Structure 1
Amino acid sequence: MRNFVDSDPKNKANPSRNLLHAAQNGDRDAQEALLELHLPRLRAFVRLRADPALRAKESSTDILQSTCREVLQHLDQVEYRGEAALRGWLHTVTLNKVREKRRYHFAEKRRPDCEVQGARDSQLGDAYSCLCSPSNAMIHDELVERVELAFDELSPDHREVISLSRIAELPIKEVAERMKRSPEGVRKLLARALVKLSALLEPGDALPGR
């Protein structure tokens, strides 16, 4: 695969711009590089938005692969309007795929051994690290396990606001539009959600499933 590192300092803040244009013109290396650039956050988003019943039915890797195929199929419809807008589109496609898979599968209790190998992906730990304070620093495997178990204990609104603002890194204004709340309401909701998540992640606490 060709090296798509851009040395132009003007493009450092917009790493996806040139990749997207090349990918839309059918450049397969650019398509792969574009997906790889956003894959860690998309993988984390899938794992946190897929509930235990869905994760027991289908691996996050399979859901992500299906998402990537759909992204490539509709890439020609995307107009580059900045990194935040592109992330918003990618995570919308991803969320719709999670919802589609949830509708397809009937509910079933999560198997304790589900996705053990995937949980050891160091990129997940990197993505989840934004949810933890320095005092809650953990090794990757422990971090991935505790974050996912803790996330399952949050309310739907708390899961949504954290995944959109911290994992998808969408601006508060866009999160507010998606959640049909005011920006100030989203800020307060996010603060409460992070406090709850932090409490669940305290090393001394025994999380459900441990």
Structure 2
Amino acid sequence: MLPLSDEDLLAAHVAGDREAFAELVRRHRDRLWAVAVRTLHDREEAADALQDALLKAYRSADGYRGEAAVTTWLHRIVVNSCLDRVRRRQARPTVPLPGESTEDEGRRRPEPASPVIDHDTHLVVRQALAQLPEEQRAALILVDVQGYPVAEVATILGVAEGTVKSRCSRGRARLATMLSDLRNGGNPPGHGDVSGISRAGLDQAGGRSA
């Protein structure tokens, strides 16, 4: 007997099958987790975002209309959950702990260029990727790290294909500038070779072999 398709599993879940949604999650959890953790760069936040997203998918499954693949629908919910957390984090002011000054906090934090000291490309690219605007980061993670087609990413993000391409292009350009600056110890952008960043660097940051 052939295994049920994703669409059949989701339909079975809506019809009351208590095991169907769990099987759907088992099939796709690894990729959904990878997107969450690479978008948020924090495993605890990623776990919370993924849990929120799966709960939303569980509850809203009857709203799935088959306009995109089930995996695309799931990814859209996960990405939106992650971006909501990014926005909330950016809107929250940082408040020092009692007895702690902002100067003390700054001294404890590593300098932005510190990963370059041991030439760890993985850390350098992740650091730069985390500084991108959220829309560019999401597009690059889905296209360059996860390897999804532009058309599918457009559906996940709810934008036109041209918008995905534009965000990726701008994101890669910003990454090249930031990595050039980091690799040259803070020299102005435009100095040094940044050809290593592009796809290979992002693959390393995403844990994939180049």
Q: Specify the TM-score bucket, using the shorter chain as the normaliser.
A: 0.5 to 0.7
2:10/2:21 contact within 8 Å kept: yes
C-alpha displacement at 1:97, in angstroms? 1.2
1:162/1:190 contact within 8 Å kept: no
Q: Which moved more, 1:18-27 or 1:38-47?
A: 18-27
CA distance in 2: counterparts of 1:60 and 1:168, whole angstroms = 16
SS at match of 1:27: coil
CA distance in 2: counterparts of 1:69 and 1:184, whole angstroms = 27
2:198 to 191, 196, 199: 196
Q: Would the alpha carbon gap of residues 107 and 201 (structure 1) be closer, same or farther in structure 2, given more than 3 Å must change?
A: farther
SS at match of 2:65: coil
1:182 to 158, 162, 165: 162
C-alpha displacement at 1:185, in angstroms? 4.1
1:43/1:64 contact within 8 Å kept: yes
Q: Which moved more, 1:190-199 or 1:96-105?
A: 190-199
Q: Deviations over 1:97-117 (max 9, x none)?
A: 1133234443669x99xxxxx
2:150/2:165 contact within 8 Å kept: no
SS at match of 1:62: helix
Which residue matches 1:36? 26
C-alpha displacement at 1:88, in angstroms? 2.2
C-alpha displacement at 1:199, in angstroms? 3.7
SS at match of 1:79: coil
| Pairing 1:20–2:6 present | no
CA distance in 2: counterparts of 1:92 and 1:184, whole angstroms = 14
SS at match of 2:85: helix
C-alpha displacement at 1:28, in angstroms? 1.6
| Pairing 1:93–2:71 present | no
Q: How many residues align?
A: 154
- Bigger RCO of structures 1 and 2 (CA < 8 A, at least 6 apart): 1
CA distance in 2: counterparts of 1:25 and 1:34, whole angstroms = 15
The percent of aligned pairs where both chains have the same amino acid is 24
**Rg larger in structure:** 2
Q: Deviations over 1:177-209 (max 9, x none)?
A: 745452894598399589435247779xxxxxx
Runs of at least 5 residues in structure 2 that lack an aligned partner in the other structure: 95-104, 110-119, 174-195, 206-210
Runs of at least 5 residues in structure 1 that lack an aligned partner in the other structure: 1-5, 113-144, 204-210
CA distance in 1: counterparts of 2:199 and 2:148, whole angstroms = 19
